[in-house]
Structure 1
């Protein structure tokens, strides 16, 4: 048993009993669902219920009297919803003050645990998540809850970790009282658009082109772009080892996209921009720009030098191939990742806090072709989701873990050691990329290309301008190979 004293109540918490039930009064956390009141204090705040409510609606450990038998909620529907929250939610915060927007808040345990704001879970410089969500137990539970008064709530978790949350954060991120995804929203699996997956287990050559050809012939540019579209990535051999030639290579497709990282990059691991990419740390497989409404479509890297150290292998994982495998393994998980929309952010530098104008799912379904055409997967940049029922949280975490298992299978990982003179370009809407830890000093250059400019260049080179004009908006025949809209 864990005992303690908080303003207005002496309490006892029985560990490993869920859901946790926290009372709040002006920022004071008081006990849990399985709390046995040892003494009733006459100074109990008037804006808070005067008893602890068990599932039966009776106070625990006390005799019923006129005041105790009166339910703290006047509305019967509110009382029923509250009892449902106690059954389905892991953490319930009860708020009966006049200024509160809801009579109670509910949170999933794993949701709170993965969004712990401490420096071990959120990088203090980049503000990115560094705790591995998928290594946390799906059954993680709070064992104790404390409050230091009006500012925050402290939770000790079953895995030994300790977290502190402000009341403002809890108020902003409370879950929905009802699920938002209805059964009618569930559609038959929409598999990814047509593609070919490179098999890392076979010793087949990588798709590649030659720099000199690309710079001189449009036919070589077409071959280059078709490789990217079909395989998701392509190497360019014989690139002069300097930033100017690399930038000129990108511009054979289109102009370099400018972001808060600048335009064309030429960087080392110095945290010039507060992002994990600007460190020498291990980077798990992810897509870039999840925090943009329109993520960059292409991304090119060219290693200019690596001195006085080793490591830094580049990782590619085919998000479409992993999604297709997930659909076969568990169609329900696949649907969950295409229906549940999430917020994303980039907030490392003081003058930047970027969020997309709309939330987006991990697997994005094209409204015309009904096929998955874009993957957003970046656990570092995924922001805490609000308006999320605890049952939906549990479904999503299970689905995301299953997808992560596909992505991290060694049989799906393409590891390469980049060398000066060879550039790597890939489809950021499909291919996840990462990097092993390294020592020494690496100098890397590269840049982004927009989706619309990539698709325009590929369609014009492949079909010709007149065919593109003749088929403007022709979504009806997108599956026909002679329709430019088959490229998207």
Structure 2
């Protein structure tokens, strides 16, 4: 039947690691001092702006651009380096960032800045060079007027945060007595039953079930979904080695979520890739699709063909790491759980698309409980809708989180197997961050994974139905 999975569900074999917080309170964002310089108002306007002067303010670590119209703009060094538009730092075919945050010095200086052919050319301390088009820079000015104008353009004059809701409404804090609130929290816990999440690290033995048994046996399927909810990741062994198996698996739950990449999508090294995943390069730890305001909750990946060399998968318990960040660096946790960050994705696949969202890297409810991790460095937008004095705080906080995620004791590494009885990995895309090591590409016979998404609504619906049929729960 279920081998390791059965033992895990019955005994909680993984166990909650030390330091897991129950329901810590969200603290208010601390006041951060303003820089001595602030960007002058500069509403976004179309056309080709001329640059009169570009000057590095080394003490403030800001680039000051003086425009021909007499206005000026300020740009943080770190933001400029993060958004270098050269082919080494940006995948041009997808207009996505390929520069890894682990390679970004968030305290970088600037060696030289000069104007060349009406472009702003910057030489960094490591002698890397970046060129920026004036219109691109002016559009991303950090003044409040320019930021508001650009947000109105990106979100078509609608508030990008309208309709955002959280599992525990803020009004309950005001309207309910403490005893009533506790009763509701107990009710929510009872509804989840034994599904309390268990945190883990690199020592995780990934729960395993048989693919065909999940499709045929209700008890096995229930064990799979309960472990998926509690641990966040489950391996299914023994899938046939051809495309189409994820559609079969999805019917065991309900239906797949259609996205701009299709009902299912093929992760392969592709020419003119419209996504960094469709290359053979390293993929840093990320969640999928934060460019949507409601990212998919569950992800399936089926190994149709594996690389001869490289291509190992990596996964991290994002909730565990967020709680660790809350303890080790409260300022960074508060910044990442309160600042709204722009994500974007555009191109053509199932159909053409241009999506834009604002999400917090660490999403919490009004009680400070973790709801979702939203982080993909490739689709984090070059647009950063933050006042100038919060930019460095954001980068330093994100760097702290990414460094925590990448510590070897926190990363579980595995290698999916293809062929007869191939592997399917199913995981919680709201909680886990996943990545991939680079691999040697062999063209048409290169590594090939088929992927698909579901939402937690459908998964939890099937879980409740299976509980009733297997255990007689009411």
Quick check: 1:344–1:359 contact (8 Å CA) kept in 2? yes
Give the structure 2 partner of residue 161 of structure 1: 128
Give the structure 2 partner of residue 231 of structure 1: 231
Give yes or no for the alignment of 1:461 onto 2:461.
no
Give yes or no for the alignment of 1:111 onto 2:79.
yes
Structure with higher helix content? 2
Matched ranges for 1:340-359 at <5 A: 340-349=339-348, 352-356=352-356, 358-359=357-358
Judged with a 3 Å threshold, the aligned counterparts in structure 2 of structure 1 residues 104 and 460 are, in CA distance, closer, same or farther, namely farther
Give the structure 2 partner of residue 304 of structure 1: 304
Give the structure 1 partner of residue 281 of structure 2: 281
Secondary structure of the residue that 1:164 maps to in structure 2? Answer: strand
In 2, distance between residues paired with 1:194 and 1:273? 39
Judged with a 3 Å threshold, the aligned counterparts in structure 2 of structure 1 residues 245 and 359 are, in CA distance, closer, same or farther, namely closer
Give the structure 2 partner of residue 332 of structure 1: 331
Q: How many correspondences in the alignment?
A: 379
In 1, distance between residues paired with 2:459 and 2:257? 11
In 2, distance between residues paired with 1:320 and 1:216? 32
Judged with a 3 Å threshold, the aligned counterparts in structure 2 of structure 1 residues 386 and 396 are, in CA distance, closer, same or farther, namely closer
Question: Which one of the candidate residues 200, 207, 228 is aligned to 2:202?
Answer: 200
CA-CA distance at 1:390 after TM superposition:
2.7
Judged with a 3 Å threshold, the aligned counterparts in structure 2 of structure 1 residues 129 and 268 are, in CA distance, closer, same or farther, namely closer
Matched ranges for 1:54-73 at <5 A: none
Quick check: 1:28–1:148 contact (8 Å CA) kept in 2? no
The alignment's C-alpha RMSD in Å is 3.4
Secondary structure of the residue that 2:314 maps to in structure 1? Answer: strand
Give yes or no for the alignment of 1:376 onto 2:374.
yes
In 1, distance between residues paired with 2:130 and 2:267? 35
Give the structure 2 partner of residue 242 of structure 1: 242
In 1, distance between residues paired with 2:102 and 2:142? 21
Quick check: 2:50–2:68 contact (8 Å CA) kept in 1? no
CA-CA distance at 1:208 after TM superposition:
1.6
Normalised to the residue count of structure 2, the TM-score between the two structures is: 0.72
More displaced, 432-441 or 226-235? Answer: 432-441
Give the structure 2 partner of residue 71 of structure 1: none
In 2, distance between residues paired with 1:130 and 1:432? 17
Quick check: 2:39–2:142 contact (8 Å CA) kept in 1? no
CA-CA distance at 1:353 after TM superposition:
4.6
Normalised to the residue count of structure 1, the TM-score between the two structures is: 0.70
Secondary structure of the residue that 1:346 maps to in structure 2? Answer: strand
In 2, distance between residues paired with 1:176 and 1:387? 10
Give the structure 2 partner of residue 321 of structure 1: 320
CA-CA distance at 1:463 after TM superposition:
6.3
Give the structure 2 partner of residue 30 of structure 1: 53
Secondary structure of the residue that 1:142 maps to in structure 2? Answer: coil
Quick check: 1:314–1:415 contact (8 Å CA) kept in 2? yes
Quick check: 2:341–2:385 contact (8 Å CA) kept in 1? no
Structure 1 residue runs without a partner (length 5+): 1-17, 35-85, 181-192, 469-481, 483-488
Matched ranges for 1:351-430 at <5 A: 352-356=352-356, 358-367=357-366, 370-420=368-418, 421-430=422-431
Judged with a 3 Å threshold, the aligned counterparts in structure 2 of structure 1 residues 95 and 302 are, in CA distance, closer, same or farther, namely same
- Larger Cα-atom Rg: 1
Structure 2 residue runs without a partner (length 5+): 1-35, 43-47, 149-194
CA-CA distance at 1:260 after TM superposition:
2.1
Judged with a 3 Å threshold, the aligned counterparts in structure 2 of structure 1 residues 246 and 96 are, in CA distance, closer, same or farther, namely closer
Give the structure 2 partner of residue 451 of structure 1: 456
Report Cα offsets for 1:400-430 as digits up to 9, x if no partner: 1110111101111111111132211101111
CA-CA distance at 1:376 after TM superposition:
1.0
Report Cα offsets for 1:95-136 as digits up to 9, x if no partner: 4737xxxx4322111001111111111112222111223323
Give the structure 1 partner of residue 62 of structure 2: 90
